[in-house]
């Protein structure tokens, strides 16, 4: 959850009211944005609330509750923050009161009450919850500490609970499950109610009721209800279809949110580490905690090594709290900032403060996306034009009507002063108002911004199948604009299936590397001790026999497996000495260490890490005769050469070393021990191993696909530069050895040492960065963003959080990624595979392309419908498309059109065009409506307007209707216009699928939803014309006229194909007019 005040390990999300934008580029960007239009938002990732409020106020909106449904609810956000503050304050007051009471009890010597048994267990949930919540160390001591508590909960502190089904059910029944009640999502009726809120639809309903009343009064109930009833039915149909579409979207978002909450964690059950959902954790579970993990429930520390917890999510304070035996209480929802340890779970779900907090706030899934904001700008502009047109039509029609210039189908005046009854005059005026309001309904594309949400919801669901879980809506579309991807090596470009394939020990190469008999006894003993003790992994040997189970990170597993092969008994070594202090692996120092005390009181300090770094700290090594001898210069050269050879073979090189230490120098006080700096000099080298991690199949093709698409792939890894180079050549990130020179290939410390301007200068050229720290990754991201790149970054570690947060799109790894990394990310790659990252790029581009298709389709309908009705109204006082017909057109154009075009799957063609990119200084990003789209829509709109206006004014003679009476001919002509107009839209829907390709039918049969919607639209149109004439003021058409309508629609296909041969200028149309305006201004100024 990203609901709370941030810490150094937590990103400050948009949902938390935005955060400080780091880096000079962002500050410049903000300055630029402040002076730009309200809809000109390049990124919404760290945007201030005020900017969000600004674009909402600028938008022309008919139905605010629907338009802003999937944007952040600014009022609810404030209310939620207030609720969180109240709950935190309440919890702190209770804790303070308890401490006051405890101090009083101690002064009076009041004894602690004994625990109340609960079922099969020696302690109840209420006692556990209050002890943990109040951080009551006295109560914990009364129960003999964590060991006594574990006995009451029937838990073995080393092996955990039994973990069989009966045990888990019993614990859940007595202590509760690790879930909390969530507020129900909105029902279908709520969506139906929201769809009613549209101002224009309300006006139409009022007009329908008035028309109904007047019709029944003048013509009787049998005939008089048709006009008003048909408008009311059309409005209800629009509302119901809108509500169904919106409700289905909300269900998709709900299921995706449930997936986001389902964190997987390791627990120890029956002596083995097993991965379970956070919702399946029970009281009594023993949970290993490592850096970046989320604390899954309230609990008590069993054993910790330099364990520091980020409690900002619960306290609101950006303070890292050290945990040890004096401060052993852990709160659910917090993050492990540093170190490692194990905890005993004492409270779960609603019995924790986190559970109470989560149950009391509703999660707002709303969030702006840049495209959504830009589309609101487009919708506002079109809406204003539509309103002006509707107003003009209203004024012209009313003026013509009341001055006696409007004639009915018998060519007699509709209004004659002094002769026309009041009810007839009012009825005529209502029909005019209805037409004008319906023009507003068609003109204001209320569904345009919602089409983004529709296509995003569709894409997010499909991306789940492609192993990508989207955490932030905007990341979907931003990924399509990415110009560079900074990727990790291990597990993303490689398989993360590591094995030791080469080893150097005893001053020589060991062949084969896993033959323990080649190692001398002292070397073997020390090496096995270092492998077993200096690890966060574990080895489980089933009592019933079977394969040994090794858990931990891939590197840890590879070294533990190698240790087993050379004769390591993991449990025996671990129990044979005690750990004094642990220095967890640090990505800055590239090594981790441990101090252990042997039974004879000797202290050994073991180190393991990047081979060349550990080697630099070694002054001695153990030779093949089991003697500790000085590290001569020849031996240093030998080992360095070994590291280079292994790295050149794309092996990860890890060195293992140790030193002895005087027990007298080891701090005895727990506080001093926590501050102890583990000695890292004068080490004795034990071994250097080369670990093979093969490239993922298909990664080379995925990298090439990115390069063709104009997306540069950069490898940023903590590994040796030579290893990075070898893998980069294998993956195709580097084309050849000739490319492997600075600055294409650079070491983290070299990049770090450059000035800001120098970093910015060479950032574009960097393809591989080796031995990089998380801060180097952050500096690279900032430099690339300043150059105008849209940067995607992959990361898995806690220290990657700043870079993931800073990047335009942060991609966390689902398997190896820590919770902190995932929380700082925008998308989680569930299979850690680079090919899945490329699929995300495809889907991102698909989102943008689909929205452009929908805009082209909708604007064509808008332009044609408005021009036809305006010209007809001004010239004759009548409109060929009435209110009911326009509402049906609106339904095709808005909801059904969005469903058909916004759900087009991505094609390979999308990866053959350059990315859209972002606004850089004075250069404009690609406009939403491109020149190609303007060409296509203007050709189609002009064709439709020309043909239908000719039919409107000359249709009677062209369609050979002169032999019919004027009213009958006029009705049939208008029916042909309406039918031809709708068929034009159905045919044009195919054209909109491929705005820049001649073959618009490519892949059409694979999109069943598109084919289904086109089929349904056509079937309903036939039903409307043939059977619902009374409602729509149409008549049945004979076959020749149906063929005429079909031919008019069909011509749009060859016309579109010919139109695509017309070249368009590269300069966007908007920029062309802007330049002309600037030149005019400049000439006036001069």
* C-alpha span between 595 and 577 (Å, rounded): 10
* C-alpha span between 659 and 620 (Å, rounded): 10
* C-alpha span between 606 and 533 (Å, rounded): 8
Contact 514, 568 (CB under 8 A): no
Contact 490, 719 (CB under 8 A): yes
Residue 506 CA to its chain's centroid (Å) = 51
Buried b (16+ CB within 10 A) or exposed e, 323-342: bbeeebbbbbbbbbbbbbbb
Q: What does each C-alpha distance from 782 to 587, 716, 786 come to in angstroms?
A: 20, 14, 6
* C-alpha span between 814 and 469 (Å, rounded): 9
Contact 318, 5 (CB under 8 A): yes
**Angle at the Cα of 655 (from 652 to 657), degrees rounded to 5?**
165
* C-alpha span between 706 and 839 (Å, rounded): 10
| Residues sharing a CB contact under 8 Å with residue 643, sequence separation 6 or more, in sequence order | 611, 612, 615, 653, 688, 720
User: HEC profile for 587-655?
Assistant: CCCCEEEEEEECCCCCEEEEEEEEHHHHHHCEEEEECCCCCEEECCHHHHHHHHHHHHHHHHCCEEEEE
Would you call 488 a catalytic residue per the annotation?
Answer: yes
Nearest to 299 by CA among 181, 153, 167, 162: 153
**Angle at the Cα of 420 (from 419 to 426), degrees rounded to 5?**
155
Cis omega (within 30 of 0) on the bond before 512? Answer: yes
The catalytic position among 26, 134, 488, 826 is: 488
> Residue 88: CA atoms inside 13 Å, Cβ hemisphere, count?
16
Nearest to 447 by CA among 901, 28, 117: 901
* C-alpha span between 633 and 616 (Å, rounded): 12
Which is it for strands 603-610 and 591-597: parallel, antiparallel or unpaired?
A: antiparallel
Q: What does each C-alpha distance from 856 to 95, 423, 439, 455, 1059 come to in angstroms?
A: 61, 43, 19, 15, 14
Residue 854 CA to its chain's centroid (Å) = 23
Both structure tokens of 78: 């404030």
Contact 277, 264 (CB under 8 A): yes
Please write down the long-range contacts of 1038-1041, taking CB distance under 8 Å and 24 or more positions apart: 1041/959, 1041/972, 1041/976, 1041/979
Cβ atoms < 10 Å from Cβ of 385? 15
| Residues sharing a CB contact under 8 Å with residue 3, sequence separation 6 or more, in sequence order | 13, 15, 16, 80, 84, 313, 361
Q: Please tell me whether residue 1 adopts helix, strand or coil conformation.
A: coil
Both structure tokens of 622: 């153990």
- Burial of residue 636, with CB atoms counted within 10 A of its CB: 0-12 exposed, 13-18 middle, 19 or more buried: middle
Both structure tokens of 957: 């003679």
- Burial of residue 490, with CB atoms counted within 10 A of its CB: 0-12 exposed, 13-18 middle, 19 or more buried: buried
Catalytic residues: 488
């Amino acid at each position: 959850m990203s609901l709370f005040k941030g810490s150094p390990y937590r990103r400050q999300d948009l949902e938390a009211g935005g955060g400080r934008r780091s880096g000079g580029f962002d500050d410049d960007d903000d300055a630029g944005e402040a002076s730009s239009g309200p809809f000109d938002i390049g990124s919404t990732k760290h945007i201030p609330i005020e900017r969000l409020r600004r674009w909402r106020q600028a938008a022309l909106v008919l139905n605010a509750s629907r338009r802003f449904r999937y944007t952040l609810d600014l009022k609810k956000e404030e209310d939620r923050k207030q609720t969180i503050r109240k709950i935190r304050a309440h919890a702190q007051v209770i804790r303070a009161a308890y401490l006051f009471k405890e101090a009083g009890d101690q002064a009076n010597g009041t004894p602690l009450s004994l625990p109340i048994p609960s079922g099969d267990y020696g302690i109840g949930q209420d006692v556990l919850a209050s002890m943990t919540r109040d951080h009551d160390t006295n109560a914990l001591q009364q129960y003999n500490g964590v060991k006594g508590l574990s006995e009451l909960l029937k838990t073995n502190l080393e092996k955990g609970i039994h973990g069989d089904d009966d045990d888990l059910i019993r614990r859940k029944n007595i202590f509760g499950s690790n879930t909390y009640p969530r507020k129900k999502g909105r029902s279908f009726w709520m969506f139906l109610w929201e769809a009613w809120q549209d101002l224009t639809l309300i006006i139409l309903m009022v007009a329908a009721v008035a028309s109904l009343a007047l019709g029944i009064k003048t013509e009787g109930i049998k005939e008089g209800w048709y006009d008003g009833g048909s408008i009311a039915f059309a409005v209800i149909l629009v509302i119901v279809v809108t509500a169904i579409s919106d409700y289905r979207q909300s269900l998709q978002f709900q299921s995706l949110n449930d997936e986001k909450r389902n964190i997987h964690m390791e627990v120890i059950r029956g002596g083995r580490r097993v991965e379970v959902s956070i919702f399946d954790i029970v009281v009594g579970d023993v949970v290993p905690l490592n850096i970046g993990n989320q604390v899954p429930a309230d609990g008590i520390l069993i054993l910790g090594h330099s364990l520091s917890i980020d409690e900002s999510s619960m306290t609101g304070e950006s303070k890292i709290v050290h945990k040890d035996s004096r401060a052993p209480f852990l709160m659910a929802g917090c993050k492990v900032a540093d170190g490692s340890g194990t905890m005993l779970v004492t409270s779960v779900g609603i019995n924790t403060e986190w559970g109470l907090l989560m149950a009391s706030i509703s999660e707002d899934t709303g969030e702006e996306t840049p495209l959504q904001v830009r589309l609101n700008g487009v919708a506002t502009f079109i809406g204003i034009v539509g309103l002006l047109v509707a107003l003009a039509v209203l004024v012209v029609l009313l003026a013509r009507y009341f001055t006696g210039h409007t004639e009915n189908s018998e060519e007699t005046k509709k209004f004659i002063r002094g002769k026309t009854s009041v009810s007839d005059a009012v009825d005529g005026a209502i029909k005019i108002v209805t037409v004008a309001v319906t023009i507003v309904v068609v003109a204001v594309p209320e569904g345009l911004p919602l089409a983004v949400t529709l296509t995003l919801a569709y894409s997010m669901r499909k991306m789940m199948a492609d192993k990508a879980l989207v955490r932030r809506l905007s990341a979907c579309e931003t990924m399509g604009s990415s110009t560079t991807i900074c990727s990790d090596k291990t597990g993303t470009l490689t398989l993360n299936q590591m094995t030791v394939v080469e080893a150097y020990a005893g001053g020589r190469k060991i062949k084969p590397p896993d033959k323990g008999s080649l190692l001398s006894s002292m070397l073997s003993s020390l090496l096995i001790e270092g492998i077993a003790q200096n690890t966060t992994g574990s080895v489980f040997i089933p009592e019933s026999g079977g394969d040994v189970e090794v858990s931990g990170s891939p590197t840890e597993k590879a070294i533990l497996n190698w240790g087993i092969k050379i004769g390591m008994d993991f449990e025996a070594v671990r129990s044979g000495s005690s750990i004094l202090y642990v220095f967890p692996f640090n990505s800055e120092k590239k090594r981790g260490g441990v101090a252990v005390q042997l039974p004879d009181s000797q202290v050994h300090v073991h180190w393991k890490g990047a081979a060349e770094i550990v080697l630099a700290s070694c002054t001695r090594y153990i030779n093949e005769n089991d003697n500790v001898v000085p590290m001569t210069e020849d031996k240093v050269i030998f080992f360095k050469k070994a590291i280079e050879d292994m790295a050149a073979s794309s092996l990860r090189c890890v060195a293992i070393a140790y030193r002895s230490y005087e027990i007298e120098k080891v701090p005895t006080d727990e506080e001093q021990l926590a501050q102890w700096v583990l000695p890292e000099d004068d080490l004795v080298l034990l071994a250097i191993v080369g670990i093979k991690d093969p490239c993922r199949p298909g990664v080379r093709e995925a990298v090439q696909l990115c390069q063709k698409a104009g997306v540069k792939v950069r490898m940023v890894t903590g590994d040796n530069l030579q290893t990075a180079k070898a893998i980069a050549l294998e993956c195709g990130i580097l084309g050849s050895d000739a490319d492997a020179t600075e600055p294409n290939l650079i070491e983290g410390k070299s990049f770090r040492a450059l000035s800001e301007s120098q970093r910015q200068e060479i950032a574009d050229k960097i393809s591989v960065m080796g031995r990089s720290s998380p801060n180097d990754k952050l500096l690279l991201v900032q430099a690339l963003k300043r150059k105008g790149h849209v940067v995607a970054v992959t990361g898995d570690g806690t220290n990657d959080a700043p870079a993931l947060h800073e990047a335009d799109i942060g991609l966390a790894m689902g398997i190896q990624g820590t919770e902190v990394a995932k929380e700082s990310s925008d998308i989680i790659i569930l299979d850690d595979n680079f090919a899945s990252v490329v699929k995300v790029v495809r889907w991102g581009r698909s989102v943008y392309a689909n929205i452009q298709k929908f805009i082209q389709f909708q604007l064509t309908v808008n332009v044609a419908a408005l021009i036809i009705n305006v010209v007809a109204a001004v010239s004759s006082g009548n409109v060929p498309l009435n209110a009911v017909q326009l509402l049906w057109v609106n339904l095709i154009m808005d909801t059904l059109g969005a469903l058909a075009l916004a759900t087009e799957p991505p094609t390979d063609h999308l990866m053959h065009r350059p990315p859209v990119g972002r606004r850089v200084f004075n250069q404009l990003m690609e406009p939403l409506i491109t020149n190609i789209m303007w060409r296509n829509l203007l050709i189609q709109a002009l064709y439709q307007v020309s043909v239908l206006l000719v039919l409107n004014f000359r249709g009677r003679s062209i369609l050979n209707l002169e032999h019919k009476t004027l009213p009958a001919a006029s009705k049939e002509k208008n029916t042909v216009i309406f039918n031809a107009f709708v068929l034009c839209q159905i045919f044009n829907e195919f054209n909109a699928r491929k705005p820049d390709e001649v073959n618009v039918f490519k892949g059409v049969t694979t999109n069943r939803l598109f084919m289904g919607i086109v089929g349904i639209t056509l079937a309903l149109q036939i039903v409307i014309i043939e059977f619902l004439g009374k409602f729509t003021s149409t008549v049945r058409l004979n076959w020749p006229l149906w063929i005429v309508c079909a031919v008019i629609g069909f011509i749009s296909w060859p016309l579109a194909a010919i139109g695509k041969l017309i070249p368009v200028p590269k300069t966007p149309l908007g920029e062309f007019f802007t330049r002309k305006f600037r030149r005019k201004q400049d000439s006036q100024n001069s």
